[in-house]
Structures are given as structure tokens and as C-alpha cells.
Amino acid sequence: MPFPTHRMRRLRRSERLRNLVRETRLSPESMIYPIFVCPGDKVRNEVGSMPGQYNLSIDNAVQVAREVEQAGIAGILLFGIPEEKDDLASDAYDENGIVQKALRAIRENVRDLLLITDVCLCEYTVHGHCGVIKHNDVQNDPTLKLLADTAVSHVRAGADMVAPSDMMDGRVAAIRRALDSEGFLNAPLMSYAAKYASGFYGPFREAAGSTPKFGDRRSYQMDPPNAREALREIALDIEEGADIIMVKPALAYLDIIARARDQFDVPLAAYQVSGEYAMIEAAARAGWIERERMILEATTAIKRAGADILITYYALELAKIL
């Protein structure tokens, strides 16, 4: 018998009650914090379109990694901004590349934190695409070897986990094979499995200097209107050996997160990307929204949709709020 037997408002009467019956909770131990490492010393350059986020030289990245560890956050996701870019993204797989050096320095100072690396070429190529270019097109198969070399060099330098974000076909298998043949059988792979060609990456490309010099990424990243295709991408990555799968961006793709959660049993990550961050920051600066409330609502929604793991530029701040 519905009303008056059932009154939904009973359990909403106080914060204690609401807290008791809350279905979704945020926790720092399921969050990952992305950081951008750049050359130099004592560098801490704020990214214009991402207030509160910085390009950090290795010394400062070590500091931030310490803070992240102390905050109880699971790990950091490292992006590198190399001294020099070239056509073959040499710095990406150079033993003395920016990420490799950062990994060694952080590993030396921070014991527990998970060091996860973004494996992609776009920050390292002059043209800003995620692979090798020939005839104005990104070449899939020749790119795989460079991605595999990159992943191996990251793990060799101390990465706990690699996260390929390039969206080349077959890269999960290629990286898994390369890691295994080097004896890194136990290094997990988190694949950006359903990664869309999104306008929400704009601020990141300013942060990482990775805007394509010509064309766009639509021939390799996914077409935003497609959902079933995301499930195929995810299934393929799991078959190829992905340990964790990711949906990216997050807020505009909650349906994809929910469907992936339903259909697959592997751990699921979602990436609240730079544009999602920038929108909240911009609207808060204009005085149009309540900043902290929006941060909590947006990140909670991503977990409610089904994400186990949340990659977010708000990780450090959330750890403090929580």
C-alpha cells in the first residue's frame, strides 16, 4: 500500500539519516590524480585553462606525489612534456625521457603510491598526433611498436601500471606481449578502452602542448554518438589482456559507464577530464555555481553510474573535503 504507508521523505530528514542510507560514497583510495611533468627545476606553471593544476618539474612532482600519498589517494597518472618533440616521439620511449626520469625520482622518494603512466605519443610528436604519420594519416601498425617500447621503458623506470590512451587497434595486445617478454608479467594494464574524440580535452592539450598541428583525432578516437561501439572496444581490450578498462570523458558518458558496468566484470575506471574540470572552475569563478557542491555532485554521479575508479584533477582536494 503506497502513501500514507510509505513516505519517502522519512529517510531524508537529517544528514545522519541521509548519510546512513547513502548508496554511493567517494573515497580517496579509489582515486587517481593526474600530473604533468615538464623539464627544468623548481617549475610550477599553472595551466591557464585549468586553474589549480600545474606543469611541474621533477623536483616539484616529487613533492606533489608525497602529498598525494599522504592524502591516501591510490596513485598518480603521469603525463610528460618533453624538452624536444620529433616525428617518432623519441622522448616517449627514451630511457632518459621526462617520464622515465620522473618515475625514478618519485619512486626513490615515495614508497606506497601507485605510479601509473599514460602511454601515448601525442605529447612527444611534433605534429601532435598519437601515432606515426604517413600520407597525412596516423599509421596503426607501425605505431604499436613505439607504444610497446614506451610502456616497457616506463615499467623499467618504476611504473606500477601502464595506461595506453592512443586508441590504436591492437595496442593492448602489443603492449602486453612486450611487457611479458621483458619479464614484467605482473605489471597491470589499464586501457583507455572507450575513449571518445571529445571537445572536453581542450584544456589538457594546452597543459600538455599536444594539440594536433593538422586534422583531428576522429580517425582513431571514438565518435561521440556511438554507444554499442564502446562495448565492442571494451570487449576487444579485455580479450587482448586489459586488466582495468576506462571510459573517457566521464560526465557526458555516464550511459557508457553504466552499460560497461552491466556488461563486464573487470574493474572499471572513468576519467573526469580537463574540460569537465575547466567548466566547473569557470562557472565557479563567475559566481554562477557552488563550487564544492558541484565537484561532489559530479564526481559522485560518475561513481553512481558504475565507475570503481575515478581519475580526477580534484583528487587532492576531494581527499581534503572527505
Task: Please report, as ranges, the residues that interact with ligand PBG according to CB under 6 A.
Answer: 118, 120, 122, 130, 165, 201, 204-205, 217, 273-274
Active site residue 195: yes
Check if the beta carbon of residue 237 is closer than 8 Å to that of residue 263. Answer: no
In the chain, DSSP finds a helix count (H) and a strand count (E) of 11, 12
Cβ closest to ligand PBG, residue 11 vs residue 126: 126
Q: Is 154 helix (H, G, I), strand (E, B) or coil?
A: helix
**SS3 (DSSP) at 28:** helix
Q: Are 97 and 153 in contact (CB under 8 A)?
A: yes
Q: Output 14 or 196, the one with its CB closest to ligand PBG.
A: 196
Nearer to ligand PBG, 59 or 301 (CB): 301
Q: Is 248 a catalytic residue?
A: yes
C-alpha 205/C-alpha 65 separation (Å) is 22
Give CA–CA dist 158/156, Å, rounded.
5
Shortest spacing between CB 91 and ligand PBG, in angstroms? 14
Q: How far is the CB of 312 from ligand PBG (least distance, A)?
A: 9
Residue of 42, 145, 213, 248 with catalytic role: 248
Q: Where are the beta strands (DSSP E) in 273-314?
A: 309-312
Active-site pick, 85, 101, 195, 303: 195
Which lies closer to ligand PBG via its Cβ, residue 109 or residue 212?
212
Alpha-carbon 301 to chain mean position: 17
To ligand PBG, the closest distance from the beta carbon of 248 in angstroms equals 7
Shortest Å distance, C-beta 93 to ligand PBG: 15
Give me the least distance between CB of 174 and ligand PBG, in Å please.
Answer: 16
Toward ligand PBG, which CB reaches closer, 153 or 274? Answer: 274
Nearest approach in angstroms of CB 34 to ligand PBG is: 7
List b or e across 115-134, with b for residues whose CB sees 16 or more CB atoms inside 10 angstroms.
bbbbbbbbbbbebbbbbbbe
Which CB sits closer to ligand PBG, 184 or 277? 277
Residues 6+ apart with CB under 8 A from 176: 189, 240, 241
Residue with CB nearest ligand PBG? 204
Give the closest residue to 252 by CA, choosing from 192, 309, 195, 314: 195
Inter-residue contact 266 to 238 (CB < 8 Å) = yes
3-state secondary structure 178-241: HHHHCCCCCCCEEEEEEEECCHHHHHHHHHHCCCCCCCCCCCCCECCCCCHHHHHHHHHHHHHC
Active site residues: 195, 248
